[in-house]
Copies of this chain bind each other. A is one copy, B any other.
Amino acid sequence: MAKVQPRTLSGFMELLPARQAQFDRMADTLKKTYALYGFTALDTPLIEASEVLLAKGGGETEKQIYRFMKGDPDLSLRFDLTVPLAKYVAQNYANLTFPFRRFQIGKVYRGERAQRGRFREFYQADIDIIGDGKLDISNEAEIPSIIYKAFTAMGLKRFQIRVNNRKILNGFYAMLGLTEKSGDIMRTVDKLDKIGAEKVAALLVSEEIGLSQDQADEILKFIAIKGSNAEVLSALEGYRGRHELFDLGLDELNTVTKYLSAFGVPESHFAVDLTIARGLDYYTGTVYETTMLDHPEIGSICSGGRYDNLAEYYTDKQLPGVGISIGLTRLFFVLEDQGYLNDALNTAPADVLILPMTEDLAPAIALATQLRSAGIRTQIHAEQKKFKQKIGYADKLAIPYAVFLGEDEINAGVAAVKDMKTGDQVKLSADEAIAHIKAGLAKLNEGLPILDKGE
């Protein structure tokens, strides 16, 4: 028969089993952390009516959409989890209770040009808190504190959540009479890390944007404000009283900073950073980006912010909210690429491989049943293979324990339990074996998914 070459599309991540186990462990850490903060899990369709998904329309994203016709007139694959959330909340408004806290970890699709480390199918892991009409400022501190806990629970250490407030930026530009140009200015300032202050200044006074040299200087002076959070906040106080929106933003930033500390985020892990703007007009208050301190070249691994109108394309209800999103597939790719994955953790499909040494499998099955009841992941190797091959199987898969069950053991009511790493072998009753194996597994699973050598 003619064969078709089996292949996976470029830009689609498909992992070997041990890597998949590592990915899943990271995703599970996120799920657990999100759940601990009272977020409910949502699972929305991957396909939506194009009219619904693209209600906002325009932009770069639309060009990347996987869009097609079938039965229903016009369908699209979701490109993020925010638009489906907006649809969901507008559609189910009467059946939801606000503030509505949801998390979703799901695949999204963007038909980008294939490129190393860029994915066309990738997981986003989002949390959002949606208010009905109003939403308290404390949520804007809680959201990044959850990310801090989640990353820390994964084992990531050298990261920093950078916080700013759009009202401060918009208020500042209003002070300079540059409100109408603020979009252009923010997009330019956003390039600071990449092209440097001098080139940013040149762009600001260029014909295209058209600022005066004084205005450009003021802006560069403003975004050059650096230091500890207290220092930055104190420098910002120098601008107070010149514009209402600025003052409001500064109050918010003070409050968020205070609460971030109360929520247990150490100062080492968050920084007030006036260069953070987030491209989207959508954000109206606090904004976040998160960088890996040792890999700034990767850009933000987790971003979000406060918005005033989640679902304005679907409903007249005002639904303010705050949310943040981790690009999980890309983060995993980077962590693997940079050697951050903790390969010492158990990634075997089973904790125990039972090798029956008798023709009758019944004793092996009985033992497997006992181990499984105790929560031990157990496989029986029942294939007609040589002993050496069976042990090789446990070896290759890094299964931590092999259990031999021959006639002698069966008659004596014991099993021979072999620690595959140390080679130690002991004869134990089923109950003893369970205790022995569980203690060993606990040690083996002690580490965190990410091994961050920093700090």
Contacts and interface: CB of A to CB of B under 8 A. Distances in A.
B136 A382 contact: yes
Given A55-B4, A101-B379, A45 B372 contact: no
A442 interface: no
A95 B369 CA distance: 29
B121 A36 contact: no
Copies in the complex: 2
B38 A382 contact: no
Interface string A57-85: 00000000011101110010000000000
Assign chain A's interface to a size class.
35 or more
Given A55-B4, A397-B97, A38 B377 contact: yes
Q: What are the 7 closest A-B residue pairs judged by CB atoms, nearest first? A: A38-B379, A38-B350, A68-B68, A40-B349, A6-B314, A6-B91, A12-B45
Contacts of A101: 349, 379
Interface in A4-41: 4-10, 12-17, 20-21, 23-24, 35-41
A372 B36 contact: yes
A235 B43 CA distance: 50
Contacts of A382: 136, 138-139
Dominant SS among interface residues on chain A: loop
A28 B243 CA distance: 53
Given A311-B6, A383-B131, A375 B36 contact: yes
Nearest to A57: B4
Contacts of A178: none
B377 A4 contact: no
B9 A21 contact: no
Interface stretch (A160-168, A190-198, A256-264): A256-264
A362 interface: yes
Chain B CB count within 10 A is highest, among A17, A262, A312, A380, for: A17
Given A55-B4, A97-B396, A40 B12 contact: no
Contacts of A3: 313-316
A92 interface: yes
A378 B88 contact: no
A111 B70 contact: yes
A266 to B, nearest CB: 14
A377 B35 contact: yes
Contacts of A8: 44-45, 48, 87, 91
Contacts of A91: 6-8
Interface in A296-331: 311-316
19 contacts: A1-B313, A6-B52, A6-B91, A9-B72, A14-B44, A16-B92, A16-B95, A24-B41, A24-B43, A47-B66, A66-B68, A70-B111, A71-B114, A138-B380, A139-B382, A259-B361, A262-B366, A263-B365, A263-B369
Contacts of A131: 383
B361 A262 contact: yes
A73 to B, nearest CB: 11
B46 A20 contact: no
Contacts of A13: 45
A431 interface: no
A118 interface: no
A90 interface: yes
Interface in A365-402: 365-366, 369, 372, 375-380, 382-384, 393, 396-397
A226 B14 CA distance: 47
A372 B121 contact: no
Given A42-B17, A313-B1, A350-B38, A9 B49 contact: yes
Contacts of A262: 361-362, 365-366
A10 B349 CA distance: 38
Contact of A48 (B9, B10, B316): B9
A132 to B, nearest CB: 10
A314 B17 contact: no
A375 to B, nearest CB: 7
